[in-house]
A and B are shown apart, each in its own frame.
Chain A
Amino acid sequence: MKLRYDVHNKYHRFAIRSAVTVASLIIFIYVWWIAAMLANKSVLPTPYRAFEALLHLIKDGDPVQKGRTLWSLIWLSILKLGKGFGLAFITALPVGLLLGNFKLFREFFSPWIEMMRPIAPIAWAPIFVILFTVGNGPVMVVFIGIFFPLLTNIIFGVQKIDRTLVDAARTLGASDWQIFTKVLAPSAVPYVMNGIKTGLGVGWMCIVAAELYNTTLSGVGYYIKFMIDCSRYDYAFAGIIVIGILGFLTTGLAECLSRVVSKRMGVDIR
């Protein structure tokens, strides 16, 4: 069998790729189906049951809490993700630029960072829910999940800056501030984008995990937990599918954006 393919026609290539993707999805569902049949337990519904529940969810909303639609669930999760992300971005950016540029700061703070970074963000969830209230706890979990990948990417980006570009700007008369705004900031952008990309993936994981705590009372994660408590596993799986699709869309969007930005900045960091 030929496992390598090399096709030069653009449409031809696209057709092959689409066919492979479709086949991959079909086989995925097939495997799921077999597993569900073999297990024969309500806790692992067949794909048919799960998608049926998903359709109901899309059409009629939450079967238990009347009046709550799928979209409002998704919106509540995205809102928390957005808040956590925004907070992480506005704090990581200045801190990253500072630590990237000044060795003393970097050396002082790196033990803090290296200690905090490996802690799974979700480990903070029970504490943050108490510390920052039920509404803001998950936001803070997202914040901590995104902050570190973003920070380390920015620090790395600032240190990778081509020093001759700074020299060139200086010989053309640029002041320290002009060097910062016209040379350092634009050269760090692709690295920031890379940080955003990893951050969004982690953030999406964090938000759902944080919502699984009973106390949070909103979002897709909470919905899944609630359905499991009600033994409606088919609806829980519908929620899991929604998370998978949204996660896929988020990282796909970030990837696209980062590619466009890298191209625009003329820097390829991959």
Chain B
Amino acid sequence: MFIQSCFQKDGGRHTITKTDDENQDEHSFASEIYKGTSKEETVMKVNHLRVVYHTDDNETVAVEDFSLDIEKGKLISIVGPSGCGKTTILRCLAGLLQPTSGEILVNNKKCVSPGSDRGMVFQDFALFPWRTVRQNVEFGLEIAGVSKGVRKERALKYIKAVGLEKFADSRIHELSGGMKQRVGIARTLIMHPAVILMDEPFGALDAQTRNIMQEQLIKIFEQSEKTIVFITHSVDEALYLSDRVVLLSKRPSIIHQIIDIPWERPRNRADPEFTNLRKKILDYLAGQNVIG
């Protein structure tokens, strides 16, 4: 019943997949050039999302009227003060949490439950410890009933894409944090989701690994032309990675500001424009946290 995704069950996901792969091989970085100029197609639409948590004697409004259009091929990050309901929003987008009201559309179809059209990458990796790296990456295909040989071949391709080809048969506990999250990303990428949802994916990693992972994510993002919604605590990370930053207020979250980031990648963290914008956002967040 969870596979009531927004695609038809027999839908052309695997055909889409093939063209995606071909594009990836032929164009690679070329997509960067026309990304801004091509007409912007909305993959995911969030309309008036509202989430209320009920406890024994009171109710807390976690998210108040959150609406957002997510265009194809964009990396959008959601930033907000601590405890503002960022993760709540992302869980709603993934279908893991039912919003109190409002709706979520993927390719104009309403989503009410999780589905493999929206991939999710978790902060604590959420890998299956009894499976090897390859078996973890294969999980979604196995669920979809793809045959063993095809599964293996495609899994190895994605494991290679995240640079773990030497560890395909390793067990999860043998990997470092950064490697674990790369498995998590490969496991999501292999399903060719319309949107990849990332919940503070690098939050559990040390600063150096985090920087390396950011570079890798940009590379993957540019090569695969994926649409990514990224949640982070780090303003620096948001500005470094995203096309657009959605700045939330404190709980109950409403969108305070949507900032389009015009800079080309790779970005320079020491650039005065970069540092200015970062300071502005940090000041806003600090104000929100103090009042809250």
User: Residues of A with Cβ closer than 8 Å to B?
Assistant: 162, 164-165, 167-176, 178, 182-183, 186-187, 189, 264-267
Partner-contacting stretch, out of B44-52, B117-125, B226-234, B255-263:
B117-125
Q: Give A187 to B131 CA distance when docked, in angstroms.
A: 11
Q: 10 closest A-B pairs (Cβ-Cβ)? A: A266-B129, A173-B116, A172-B140, A168-B126, A265-B130, A171-B120, A170-B114, A164-B126, A171-B114, A186-B130
Give the nearest-CB partner of A168 in chain B: B126
Judged by a CB distance under 8 angstroms, whether B143 is at the interface is yes
Q: Give A265 to B1 CA distance when docked, in angstroms.
A: 28
Are the CB atoms of A170 and B2 closer together than 8 Å? Answer: yes
Contacts A167-B96, A171-B118, A173-B116 given; does A267 touch B129 at CB 8 Å: yes
B113: chain A residues within 8 A (beta carbon): 170
Give the nearest-CB partner of A167 in chain B: B96
Secondary structure dominating the interface of B? loop
Are the CB atoms of A172 and B3 closer together than 8 Å? Answer: no
B120: chain A residues within 8 A (beta carbon): 167-168, 171
Judged by a CB distance under 8 angstroms, whether B286 is at the interface is no
Are the CB atoms of A173 and B94 closer together than 8 Å? Answer: no
Judged by a CB distance under 8 angstroms, whether B187 is at the interface is yes
Given contacts A167-B120, A172-B191, A182-B142, 13 further A-B contacts (CB under 8 A): A164-B126, A170-B2, A170-B95, A171-B115, A173-B114, A173-B116, A173-B140, A176-B2, A182-B139, A189-B130, A265-B130, A266-B171, A267-B129
Are the CB atoms of B129 and A167 closer together than 8 Å? Answer: no
Partner of A173, one of B3, B122, B124, B129: B3
Judged by a CB distance under 8 angstroms, whether B128 is at the interface is yes
Give the nearest-CB partner of B141 in chain A: A172
Q: Give A167 to B95 CA distance when docked, in angstroms.
A: 10
Could you tell me the distance in whole angstroms from the C-beta of B154 to the nearest C-beta in chain A? 14
Are the CB atoms of B2 and A266 closer together than 8 Å? Answer: no
Most chain B CB atoms below 10 A, which of A174, A183, A265 = A174
Are the CB atoms of A171 and B173 closer together than 8 Å? Answer: no
B116: chain A residues within 8 A (beta carbon): 171-173
User: Residues of B with Cβ closer than 8 Å to A?
Assistant: 1-3, 5, 94-96, 113-116, 118-120, 122, 124, 126-131, 139-140, 142-144, 171-173, 187, 191, 197
Partner of B143, one of A164, A173, A266, A267: A173
Q: Give A165 to B136 CA distance when docked, in angstroms.
A: 11
Could you tell me the distance in whole angstroms from the C-beta of A194 to the nearest C-beta in chain B? 16
Are the CB atoms of B115 and A173 closer together than 8 Å? Answer: yes
Give the nearest-CB partner of B172 in chain A: A266
Q: Give A258 to B241 CA distance when docked, in angstroms.
A: 46
Q: Give A59 to B211 CA distance when docked, in angstroms.
A: 73
Could you tell me the distance in whole angstroms from the C-beta of B177 to the nearest C-beta in chain A? 15
Q: Give A170 to B126 CA distance when docked, in angstroms.
A: 12
Give the nearest-CB partner of A178 in chain B: B143
Are the CB atoms of A164 and B130 closer together than 8 Å? Answer: no
Are the CB atoms of B126 and A167 closer together than 8 Å? Answer: yes
- Pairs across A and B, CB under 8 Å, 6 listed: A167-B120, A171-B94, A172-B143, A173-B114, A174-B2, A266-B172
